Structure 1
């Protein structure tokens, strides 16, 4: 008997990622330091918290992550009902694609950028189009003309790996143009806390655009890559389906605290 996985899985090539873990677990002579995590590590208070709450690992976590979402409400000012949390930001990328994309969904990704957008979209059978640019601002009008109808655009801001920040006014032009075409804009802001001007986040405009979804993480800026905490922000039209599709108990007790 021969077992056949889905066609999208048969052709799937997982993205390769670096980081300090590979120093101990690699056959390569090249050491890969591309994880881009805060070199100062996590706050000492986090370590104290982890030691204090180790006993909680014997219990199931809250499947709805109410405490964590409440804390994120305090941090972002966004209502809990508009926040979804995941076991790292990458889990949310895959859940988002599984929820909103299919083989008929056109996807646009400016490159170079984080590889998991493409990987997750292709697993859903999507046809992915790329727009080569080192700075979207310099090619803004051309990029906007490429936005598909009833599709999805992925944007990383500031971008990984180039570090380029697209200014707020240009981000809003893209989101507005996509809205007119009934296209969702997925904005990855996992590095936004490293930007000197916090006003460059599009989070304050979440109430103005039903087609806007923002991805955040505690991995990069807060040095918590091993704890795995990511969260997404959007309208209830986006968040409610994501809450339905996420696996139960996806965020541990330790991470939720």
Structure 2
């Protein structure tokens, strides 16, 4: 039996400023299995972003253990952590983090520059094109970010997260800069990726966005206060249809 993809045991993260000690994450234990779609919620200061940074191996816990696919991250050196992050994880951020002077295809290729063994140019380009086609941007390969809408830019960011074929995608407020229709499209894309077997963990403060997920974890003061399946799950196809009907009704009124 394979281990959970993510296993946290009594994770703590303590920040110190002078004599002041802040426990951003306080004794969190958590398992996430392969194929889950999890939302982590909480108000500002709840610890959700700090937890996400530790899940992404961008920060190390002060205490406790983190096993990623059975590997104890604390026992790895910096180069090994970097390699693990590049092979296992894909990241999607609220602000897209695209390079403005490079095309969509070149932005998606970037993670492949840090892959070991080296990926040849022809393969890098082909994998980037396939990732962009997967998110519906096959016709926008050579557009620069300023030639794309916000939703298209986020799709480029998702394609970049997928180009190394990760087991886990971590998304930090991925709809925070998007309008309602575009948010529905992006969440529909995450649902499609999850249906294909990719594990998705997403930080959000919006209940209506969390409802697209299969499981909702709520944090407060660095602790998990609720962890349960989504009982009223939203599906993007239904939301798109409802929005289309609403807009059509409004145009006829």
- If the length of structure 2 is used for normalisation, what is the TM-score? 0.35
Higher relative strand content: 2
